[in-house]
Structure 1
């Protein structure tokens, strides 16, 4: 498995090998030893989630308070998505920057994002199935969002009909509003949390 850190610190792309034969194919989208070799620590999995989305659906931008935050390792089991990582860590050298990776069931590429990073995706196919390995269980009081339609973020959503969002995502604050409200994680708090997990 090849691991590559993206331009935002704490965001990684993992590319596993796929083994096709006359029956179909086999892939291990998450491999603990490869993850540890790349990042220097083990991924603790406290919860596994799966979503199914129709083409055009956008989910996110979601993040959690740090500490404890919620790191995520995501891959697509069926279909394809445009996956977006947003640096929401106030004081980070890449604060407000986003990075986009296309994930699909054919390549089984996966994305890891550290605590404090925001995450969103848009389904590029019908019945796009995304699997999430999460480092912490869902904690409603600690979960937050930024609207994925924030014009200042200008996220690269695919052209097409009006995007389908939940009311919660559509009504979420912009990055500037969340910053003014003091609702974003800090780079210093995130770095302290990262240092304690290895």
Structure 2
């Protein structure tokens, strides 16, 4: 496994070693000891989540705050998504900056999203199966987010708004300025 840096402090890509032959592919998606050796982090993932989405489904930008904040290790098992993270840690040198990456079932890249980041994705293929590990449990009272079309962030979701499928809950998320205040 290889670690690839992003433009955001503490946020990185993991590229697994993929073995291919006439039967298909095999790769190790997670190994705690290798993760620790490569990243220097000893993350105790406690929850696995998975979502299935159709083309244009936009999920996010979500985060949990306070003692229930979460780090995530995200990947796509099937399909293709544009994954976006925003650093919302006020004391970070990359505060307010974003990073986006295509995650798919071809390259098998994984994105490590540290605590203190808002996270979301949009499905670019007919369907996607998106999986992620969290180092803290989901807590509804600690949940928040940022509206996907926040003017301050000016995020490029790679699709036109006519193709977006966004939940009512996500349409009511606060702006970046409201979320960080």
TM-score when normalising by structure 1: 0.86
The answer for the alignment partner of 2:96 in structure 1 is 96
- Pairing 1:124-139 to 2, within 5 Å after superposition: 124-139=124-139
Cα deviation per residue 1:68-105 (whole Å; 9 max; x = unaligned)?
A: 41110001000010011101112322111100111101
Cα deviation per residue 1:51-76 (whole Å; 9 max; x = unaligned)?
A: 01111111111111132411100010
Tell me if the contact between 1:3 and 1:15 (Cα under 8 Å) persists in the aligned partners.
yes
Task: Give the Cα separation in 2 of the matches to 1:121 and 1:171.
Answer: 17
The answer for the alignment partner of 2:167 in structure 1 is 166
Cα deviation per residue 1:82-137 (whole Å; 9 max; x = unaligned)?
A: 01110111232211110011110111100001111110111111220110101011
- Pairing 1:41-120 to 2, within 5 Å after superposition: 41-120=41-120
Determine helix, strand or coil for the equivalent of 2:74.
Answer: strand
Cα deviation per residue 1:167-191 (whole Å; 9 max; x = unaligned)?
A: 1111100001223xx3xxxxxxxxx
Tell me if the contact between 1:149 and 1:155 (Cα under 8 Å) persists in the aligned partners.
yes
The answer for the alignment partner of 1:192 in structure 2 is none
Cα distance, 1:159 vs structure 2: 2.5
The answer for the alignment partner of 1:4 in structure 2 is 4
Cα distance, 1:50 vs structure 2: 0.2
TM-score when normalising by structure 2: 0.94
**Which moves more between the two structures, 78-87 or 92-101?**
92-101
Tell me if the contact between 2:9 and 2:93 (Cα under 8 Å) persists in the aligned partners.
no
Tell me if the contact between 2:68 and 2:138 (Cα under 8 Å) persists in the aligned partners.
no
The answer for the alignment partner of 2:141 in structure 1 is 141
After superposition, the CA RMSD in angstroms is 1.3
Gaps of 5+ in 2: none
Aligned residue pairs total 180
Cα distance, 1:162 vs structure 2: 3.5
The answer for the alignment partner of 2:26 in structure 1 is 26
Determine helix, strand or coil for the equivalent of 1:169.
Answer: helix
Which one has the bigger strand percentage? 2
